Amino acid sequence: MPYNMDRLDRKSGSLSMSWQLQEAKQRFSELVRRAQREGPQVVTRHGEEVVVVVPAEEFRRMSEQKPDFKEFLLSGPDLGVLDLERPKETPRDFEL
């Protein structure tokens, strides 16, 4: 299940939970289980978000190399096989 990593705070309605660093260290196994079951878990230090724990599968998905826009366009179908010739006759008359 992919998660929206652009929105991690509770106010946005995201699935993530916030953990203080000390609590995350003490309850690390639970932190990992919750990341697997519920999605991203945010760890804070002095009230500031410092890391996010996500399932390994989600991390791999987010880390995979994605083609840039030029590569994306060039990987499309060969348009040379299409008959894109325009008719030679003059267009119809119309009034504005």
> Domain holding 42: CATH number?
3.40.1620.10
Instruction: Name the burial class of residue 23, with classes exposed (0-12), middle (13-18) and buried (19+) by CB atoms within 10 angstroms of its CB.
Output: middle
Does the residue 1 lie in any domain? no
**What value does the mean pLDDT of the chain take?**
84
Does the residue 39 lie in any domain? yes
Domains of the chain: total = 1
Question: Amino acid identity of 35?
Answer: A
Does residue 11 register a pLDDT over 60?
A: no
User: What's the pLDDT score for residue 80?
Assistant: 81
12 versus 91: the higher-pLDDT residue is 91
Reported as a single tens digit per residue, the pLDDT across 26-65 is 999 999 999 999 999 999 999 999 999 999 999 999 998 8
Does residue 4 register a pLDDT over 50?
A: no
Does the residue 89 lie in any domain? no
55 versus 84: the higher-pLDDT residue is 55
> Using alpha carbons only, how large is the chain's radius of gyration in Å?
25
Does the residue 38 lie in any domain? yes
Does the residue 9 lie in any domain? no
Does the residue 78 lie in any domain? no
Give residue 69's pLDDT band: very low, low, confident or very high (50, 70, 90).
very high
Return the bridge partners of 48, or none.
45
Structural domain boundaries enclosing 57? 15-63
Rounded CA gap, 31 and 47, in Å?
18
User: What proportion of the chain, given as a percentage, has pLDDT over 70?
Assistant: 83
